[in-house]
Amino acid sequence: MWRTVQLSIGNMITVTSYPIAVLMCVITMICWGSWGNTQKLASKSWKFQLFYWDYTLGILLFSLLLAFTMGSFGDGGRSFIPDLAQAESKWLLWPIIGGIIFNLSNILLVVAIDMAGLAVAFPIGVGLALVLGVITTYITRPEGDPLMLALGVGLIVIAIILDALAFNRLGSRSATLKGIIVSVAAGVLMGFFYSFVADAMGKISMEGGRAVLQAGKLSPYSAMVIFAVGILLSNFVFNTLVMRFPPDGSAPVSYSSYFELGTPKLHLIGMLGGGIWCLGTSFSFISADAVGPALAYGLGQGATMVSAFWGVFIWREFKSAPKGTNALLALMFIFFITGLGILVASK
């Protein structure tokens, strides 16, 4: 199971072991639930819109780093540059579309949090994304027991709702109809981005003891780079609009502020956030062939619980919460861990 990887030029690192792939999905969950800490560190002196430029740039730079290392020296498949050269045009377009959809959904989620509060936007947005993402990726590649996938996803959705109820006890604002609508839009879009990328990635088969990647399609490393390009390019539209019309009603944010106010430390924090998210997403793509895209996405979206862990134990966001909140948090983690275990056992 834990076989030694023989590195050679012209190949990539492939993962065919189910336990290793599950471990990578857990790392995905940790990364997706932890990158927000970098935004929290920078938020006191740096507008989100400016942070987000460094975040998207960090995603692209880290995806290239992985493509020229893990994606170019390994035990099978194709290395990064030859993989791009042989890919059919349709499969080059699909990850870009996925990147555009993801970026719009991510920005809408931030706007929804500002309008309706975390306790409403997250369970609606992330809950919908989790359910729709598992369904759409399962349709793309039906792998794993559908009933167990549904049960695991259902328990995690319950955990997300309990998380929202706990946050609501902190006195978050009541939801507006517009905020709920934006939350739904964010969740629906986020539920579809992964299937575009998963569809563009080739399946891995074993031939003569060597991992061979399907011709015409992309390796996970190439798909991640093109996906990151889609995110960055679409940012010139979506983030520019949010800069021009800030959701909190504050004054517009100028491009000059990025250069005038940004320090090397702030830029590095933003790029670190993008790098952390990119590592998690790349591991999700790399492990998708071994565990199935639906399971890879479903496990990754457990990131909400990781984020809650940071809020509860590190940032101490619930220290002033009313009595009974700890019981909700305990139930949240119980449902989450149970759902996670069922997802892992679904294949």
Domain that holds residue 89: 27-345
Q: Write down the mean pLDDT value for the chain.
A: 89
Structure confidence by residue, pLDDT tens digits, 302-330: 887 888 788 888 878 778 888 889 899 89
Q: pTM for the full model? A: 0.89
Using N-to-C axis directions, what is the helix angle for 193-200 and 118-140, rounded to 10°? 30
* Rounded Cα–Cα distance for residues 124 and 118 (Å): 10
Structure confidence by residue, pLDDT tens digits, 48-72: 899 999 999 999 999 999 999 999 9
Residue 274 covered by a domain: yes
Here the tokens at position 200 are: 């563009």
Q: Phi and psi at residue 174, in whole multiples of 5°?
A: -75, 150
Q: Say what the pLDDT of residue 8 is.
A: 44
Residue 42 covered by a domain: yes
Residue 10 covered by a domain: no
For residue 171, give every residue at least 6 positions away whose Cβ sits within 8 Å of its Cβ, in sequence order, or none.
none
Using N-to-C axis directions, what is the helix angle for 193-200 and 220-244, rounded to 10°? 150
Within 10 A of 338 (CB to CB), how many other CB atoms are there? Answer: 16
Q: Say what the pLDDT of residue 118 is.
A: 64
Structure confidence by residue, pLDDT tens digits, 99-114: 999 999 999 988 887 7
Q: Say what the pLDDT of residue 274 is.
A: 96
Total of domains in the chain:
1
pLDDT confidence of 177, banded at 50, 70, 90?
confident
Residue 19 covered by a domain: no
* Rounded Cα–Cα distance for residues 40 and 56 (Å): 16
Determine the average pLDDT of the residues in 333-338.
92
* Rounded Cα–Cα distance for residues 91 and 94 (Å): 5
Question: Greater confidence, 112 or 20?
Answer: 20
Q: Say what the pLDDT of residue 294 is.
A: 92
Residue 64 covered by a domain: yes
* Rounded Cα–Cα distance for residues 275 and 59 (Å): 5
Residue 298 covered by a domain: yes
Residue 2 covered by a domain: no
In the predicted model, is pLDDT for residue 174 greater than 70? no
Residue 309 covered by a domain: yes
* Rounded Cα–Cα distance for residues 342 and 146 (Å): 11
Here the tokens at position 206 are: 């074993």
Q: Which residues pair with 206 in a beta bridge?
A: 211
Here the tokens at position 318 are: 């619930």
Structure confidence by residue, pLDDT tens digits, 224-277: 999 999 999 999 999 999 999 988 788 999 999 999 999 999 999 999 999 999
